[in-house]
Amino acid sequence: MYSDKVKDHFYNPRNVGEIDNADGIGKAGNPKCGDIMKMYIKVKDGVITDVKFKTFGCGAAVATSSMTTELIKGKTLKEALALNNNDVVQKLGGLPPQKIHCSVLAKETIESAIKDYCLKNNLAFPPA
């Protein structure tokens, strides 16, 4: 049912945890299942230098969040916002159709963290 990549990111998730003094904190919930995710970002000169996440979610949510954090670290805020949940799913070698909705949670959470960063720094959202 799950690809080896999904299993790897589920059993060994990257970037799990919190960041003290995060520059932005995002939270999102999946209305279909009630699962919740939080992400913390550090930003320097418009680039995401660190990101961590915590989730009360299923295996697919953990795997997509883990892959998302790997993909956005070192990226600009704009590049991170442009990341599509389908790109993340592809990088993981696919997800069963009934699990695609789980991949949206990571995207919404990172968007929320970037929005929080922009608000705290009086920057327009989405950033130019």
Catalytic residue among 102, 105, 106, 114: 102
The verdict on 56 binding ligand FES (CB under 6 A) reads no
Cβ-based neighbours of 103, under 8 Å, separated by 6 or more = 60, 61, 64, 85, 86, 88, 89, 95
**Total residues interacting with ligand FES, rule: CB under 6 A:** 9
* Segment interacting with ligand FES (CB under 6 A) among 3-11, 16-24, 58-66, 77-85: 58-66
The verdict on 68 binding ligand FES (CB under 6 A) reads no
Q: How far from 68 is each of 56, 74, 94, 109, 123, CA to CA, in Å?
A: 16, 12, 14, 10, 23
In this structure, what token pair is assigned to residue 111? 């968007």
Instruction: Specify the residue for token string 């159709």.
Output: 97
Catalytic residue status for 118: no
* Segment interacting with ligand FES (CB under 6 A) among 8-16, 27-35, 72-80, 81-89: 27-35
| Least Å from the CB of residue 31 to ligand FES | 10
